[in-house]
A and B are shown apart, each in its own frame.
Chain A
Amino acid sequence: MNTFELHAEYPGFTLDATASWDGDATALFGASGSGKSTILEALAGLRPAVRGPIELRGRRLDGLPARRRAIGWVPQDASLFPRMTARENVDFAARLHGDRNAAERAIEVLELATLLDRSAAALSGGERQRIAIARALASRPDFLLLDEPLASIDRPLRARIVPFLARIPAELGVPLLLVTHDPLEVAALTRHVIVVEKGRCVAAGAPAAIFAAPAAFGAFELGAENSFAVNVGGRSPGLLDVVTPHGCVLRVADVPGFPLPARVAIRATAIVVATRRPEEVLVENVLAGTVRSVAIEGEQLALRVEAAGETWIVRTARRAAEPAALAPGREAWLLIRAADLVPSG
């Protein structure tokens, strides 16, 4: 069991966060400035001003200095030691604990062998993140804390890194606590989510339960309004066919090494809507449907569309379409890229 009750007063911000959870892959989820990184740093022992009990894997950590907490902390910018090579970064942690095995295992699982002799300064964003994670794992941590590990990485590279992260708890036996403001990362990597808002933990549960309620998305300023349980129906090179409970067939990216998805999610803003049947469009999923409701939300149109047996929430720029063309009852086609559908186990 893992618990914390953290309290701190900063100018203009109060942290008053309490949570308890079990399991090996958990997300601290919330908007920027909500306090999730502060919580993570407090757990790592890097925020002396934060008070309160902390217990991870049954071990009491509050009162211990950072170096005695056995926490692998990976900041958002990876913070590799720039004057060292990738190998020296990993070895720095391994030497402190006198155990090369943990380092070698992390290098193997994260597939880093070819990067080790390169200077830390010469690595790409994704490579830096993987080296930083390997370095943290080489310290033989009881817990791995990842602060926005995918935030600075572009989408195709994310698809490469997600499987590496997903393998850590099972293959290395180190539980993850992941900070993110991206519901898709939560869905892809974790089985439990703690929602942080204005310095407080306001909700917790399985990602599917938390993100299934549209009201929750409004409350938490989230983005992935569309999330469906799925069964895998078939496989073609690079793609999986999955089927929702109401029979909607979707083609999603088949990422090597990633388990078959039980859910897929997509942001409302990632769906393109067409008012005429699109032809010769190179998109994996084109769903015909009917507009059920339209609402103007500032500069956006919020649509509810029934297509292929499911109800979809779509947000599009107001200037991109006349509200009349998308009036309730009008035909609409939804264009969804396979890469934008994020699978989760």
Chain B
Amino acid sequence: MSVGEALDVTLLTLKVGATATAAIALPAVATGYLLSRWRSPLRPLVQTVVSLPMVLPPVAVGLVLLLLFARSAPLGRAVEACFGAPLLLTWWAAALASAVMSFPLFVMGAMQGFDAVPPRLEQVAASLGASRARVLLSITLPHAARGVACGAVAAFARALGEFGATALVAGRIRGETETLSLAIYDRIEQFKSADAVAFAALSLALALLTIGAVELLRRK
């Protein structure tokens, strides 16, 4: 394994993780906010649906995505019509799979962040004349920022290590969709143990960095 190859795989992994995390940021924060504030009998049901990717086998999630975004499926055709190329077997597909698998972690972090904001602060801001949007942007979000950031880093870490769903929708195309976890599996299949261990070491370094970032945020 050359240094260039290791660098390419690592950078692609980071690109997939960052894209996935950025893509789910808004919906995850919005869902976390709703789950934190919504007092409805339907709330546990919604929470269960949101958590499904965490308990389903990743391959099953990948299969669902495969069926949804196949060129013969309506969604797949719509994507192809919009972007001029199919989604599957591209790094975008890897990012999509990572986004779906990471979504529950981001939502949980955000929800914990919103849960930690004293409702009194929001009530005071409303009594001072602030609109709901102003209360959310000026009071709630800044006070929930740590939880949201923890959720984002946890989601990013999950995206970096995603394998099952990604393998199904993005394939294992060297230089195009091969992330670190796919590369490890590929080298093991090819009996290149030293390369597999080297990619695993890179994964470990990235994991340590992200876990360290989560701990820093929690203690801050």
> Which residues of A approach B to under 8 Å, CB–CB?
41, 44-46, 65-73, 75, 77, 79, 81-83, 92-93, 96-97, 132, 135-136, 138-139
Contact = CB atoms under 8 A, between A and B. Distances in A.
Interface stretch (B96-104, B120-128, B163-171): B120-128
B89 interface: no
Contact of B139 (A46, A65, A81, A132): A81
B143 to A, nearest CB: 7
A122 to B, nearest CB: 17
Contacts of A96: 128-130, 134
22 contacts: A41-B123, A44-B123, A66-B126, A67-B126, A67-B128, A67-B129, A67-B131, A69-B127, A73-B124, A75-B120, A79-B120, A79-B123, A81-B125, A92-B125, A92-B138, A93-B128, A93-B129, A96-B128, A96-B130, A135-B124, A138-B128, A139-B127
Among B124, B130, B142, which residue has the most Cβ atoms of chain A within 10 A?
A: B124
A92 B125 CA distance: 8
A93 B138 CA distance: 12
A315 B37 CA distance: 49
Given A81-B139, A92-B138, A75 B124 contact: yes
Given A75-B120, A79-B121, A81-B121, A139 B128 contact: yes
Interface of B: 118, 120-121, 123-131, 134, 138-139, 142-143
Given A81-B121, A81-B139, A83-B142, A46 B127 contact: yes
A81 B122 CA distance: 9
Given A75-B120, A79-B120, A96-B134, A67 B127 contact: yes
Contact of A67 (B118, B130, B138): B130
A41 B131 CA distance: 18
Contacts of A71: 127
B121 A136 contact: no
Query: Do most interface residues of chain B lie in helix, strand or loop, or is the interface mixed?
Result: helix
Q: Top 4 A-B pairs ranked by shortest CB distance?
A: A73-B127, A66-B126, A93-B128, A79-B120
A82 B139 CA distance: 10
B39 to A, nearest CB: 11
Nearest to B143: A83
B127 A45 contact: yes
B142 A66 contact: no
Contacts of A136: 127-128
A247 to B, nearest CB: 49
Given A65-B126, A66-B127, A96-B129, 19 more contacts: A44-B123, A46-B123, A46-B126, A46-B127, A66-B123, A71-B127, A73-B123, A75-B120, A75-B124, A79-B123, A79-B124, A81-B124, A81-B139, A83-B143, A92-B125, A92-B128, A93-B129, A97-B129, A139-B129
Contacts of A83: 142-143
A72 B127 contact: yes
A75 B127 CA distance: 11
Contacts of B131: 67
B128 A135 contact: yes
A245 B134 CA distance: 57
A77 B139 contact: no
Nearest to B127: A73
A39 B53 CA distance: 46
Contacts of B121: 79, 81
A132 B118 CA distance: 16
Nearest to A94: B128
Contacts of B128: 67, 72, 92-93, 96, 135-136, 138-139
B70 to A, nearest CB: 48
Nearest to B134: A96
A71 B134 CA distance: 18
Contacts of B125: 81, 92
A41, A79, A82 pick with most chain B CB within 10 angstroms: A79
A237 B21 CA distance: 68
A318 to B, nearest CB: 41
Nearest to A83: B142
Contacts of A97: 129
A78 B88 CA distance: 55
Candidate in B121, B127, B128, B134 with the most chain A CB atoms within 10 angstroms: B127
Nearest to A96: B129
Contacts of A68: 129
A145 to B, nearest CB: 8
A79 B130 contact: no
Contacts of B138: 92
Contacts of A65: 126
B123 to A, nearest CB: 5
B28 to A, nearest CB: 22
A205 to B, nearest CB: 29
Contacts of A75: 120, 123-124
Nearest to A145: B127
